[in-house]
Amino acid sequence: MAGDTTLQHAHGTPAVSGLTRRRFLLHGVWAGAALLTACAQGSSNPMTNPSTTHETSGGASATAHPTSPATPSTPTASPTGVPALVTQPGSKVSVVYWDAFGGDRGKVVQEIVRRFNASQSDVEIAYQYQGNYDETGQKLIQALAAKQTPDLVLLADNWWFRFYLTGALQPLNDFFAQAAIDTRDYVAPLLNEGTRQGRIYWVPFARSTPLFYYNKAAWQEAGLPDRGPRTWEEFRAWAPKLVKQSGATTSRFAFGHPAGAGTTAGNLSSTVSWNFQSIVWQWGGRYSDDSLQIRIQEPQAVEAGRVYLLDGIQAGWAVASGNVDGDFITGRVAALVASTAQLAGYEKNANFPVGTAFLPEGPAGFGCCTGGAGLAILKDKPREVQQAAFRYVAFATSPEMTTFWSQSTGYMPVRTSAIEGAAMQQFYQQHPNFKTAVTQLPQARPPDPAREWIPNGFDLIGRGIEQVLTQREDPQAVFGAVAKQLEEAAKPVREQLKRIEG
């Protein structure tokens, strides 16, 4: 584009006043080392004190670990031999970045953005918070229709695929090659989720698995061993010991389920369907198979609904809660299944020691799904803007920054070198709960296509689960009805996949 053009965001107003984008040339290979060395200044030590508020798994806000990031010095030079962006004197590429983390997680993201902007003079990331995962995804749909999109966006695991199907996302393999970044250093199961036919479209950033959380004080009071239950059958035997009752009033339940997907704004239905996914596997069922044939109505999934969702509520030791995180922190529920990302908040806000464990096994063995969000670059953008956006992607997912992000929030590091590095190993020794998800990850797998590929599939499943939890409806009837809705919604997805991938 000729001259200076102020960037616009999706609603047509200036994204960042005073920032201009000029055409420029990129010469040579801008290696990832330039980014990582700049970011390493002041970022690899365990942080102290990031502020926090609580989040549902949709990314609205977060509770950070009670330590806060050290303020880094401003980098002054790139490593010798690594070419920088070549621009016209005084020009800078502005990249509009849509993010889905508010609250204190948003503050941590903004600190990463600040460090990136301070590390070089060629690119300016314009951070814009768009709401939680679902709100961000919906706004991107609208922005695509209006042809006024951001350049870079954080998308949840159950959102990125629909934009891949519509051809909105840029494959990133060439950018990784130009930056000389070895993709083998990314945790393979996480990077593979955003890869289709060998092309990377979605780079892992805020990734998680569900964990079994428990109140260690309640465990001790009940005379239970200080560990998570190995199986759900074992937990059912423990559960009555954890309940506190006074007459007809229960002041502490053994277990809490998130509920309220049909009436609560945001993405609770996404959380509900994500949590139950692993349980269905543990009973030998699936939401769907890899060819997107719907299977949630089959006996294994139905039995998981009856046992895991209903039995504890009917027996009085489990509760469906509209604020299960708050109920755990205040001691109203002694245990729950929740995202790795909740860990920092639980540890900070609970007045008891928090325990973490692998998910218990079901009749068919172990099952655990991955979750969270990654970074994607929009396709129909000038090449120089995409290159500039990728510089931030490389920076934000670098070993130093993924260490910083993980220690601040509880999300898993997305780089193997970060997990094995001195900073994380020392941190795990001091905070062993943070290692549970990393240790569990090799046994985890991506959620079933019905939840990930079907637009609003997660919502259809979540609302069905809520019917079982809150209205105590028969899982066979409910899941049968959900299956019909999913099957109808899956037809155009299969057709699109066939056209795109053959």
pLDDT at 269: 75
Three-state secondary structure call for residue 445: strand
Do 278 and 369 form a contact (C-beta atoms < 8 A)? yes
pLDDT of residue 88: 52
For residue 125, what are the β-bridge partners?
95
Provide the pLDDT for residue 5. Answer: 29
Report the topology of domain 5-207+373-430: D-Maltodextrin-Binding Protein; domain 2 (3.40.190)
Residues of each domain in the chain carrying CATH 3.40.190.10 = 5-207+373-430, 210-368+444-501
d(CA 267, CA 58): 6
What is the value of pTM for the model shown?
Answer: 0.82
Q: Which fold has domain 210-368+444-501?
A: D-Maltodextrin-Binding Protein; domain 2 (3.40.190)
Residue 17 makes CB contacts below 8 A (sequence gap 6+) with 6
From residue 491, give the alpha-carbon distance in Å to each of 285, 294, 453. Answer: 21, 11, 11
If one counts every other C-beta atom within 10 angstroms of the C-beta of residue 489, the result is: 17
Q: Supply 469's token pair.
A: 């939890």
Token pair for 95: 């990249």
Residue labelled with tokens 């560990």: 227
Residue 3: closest CA among 24, 16, 22: 22
Q: What is the pLDDT of residue 401?
A: 98
- Strand 152-156, strand 195-196: pairing: unpaired
> For the chain, how big is the Rg over CA atoms in Å?
23
- At position 175, the amino acid (one-letter code) is F
For residues 417 and 399, is the Cβ–Cβ distance under 8 A?
yes
Q: Is 256 left (phi over 0), alpha (psi -120 to 50) or beta?
A: beta
pLDDT mean by block of 10 residues, the chain; 502 residues: 32 34 36 37 31 36 36 31 42 95 93 98 97 95 97 97 96 97 97 97 97 98 98 98 95 93 53 95 97 97 98 97 95 97 94 98 98 97 98 98 96 97 97 97 96 94 94 97 98 94 90
User: What are the backbone dihedrals phi and psi of residue 260, each rounded to the nearest 5 degrees, phi first?
Assistant: 100, 15
Token pair 């990784």 in the structure block, residue: 176
CB 185 within 8 A of CB 38: no
- Within 8 A by CB and 6+ apart from 436, the residues are 211, 340, 356, 357, 358
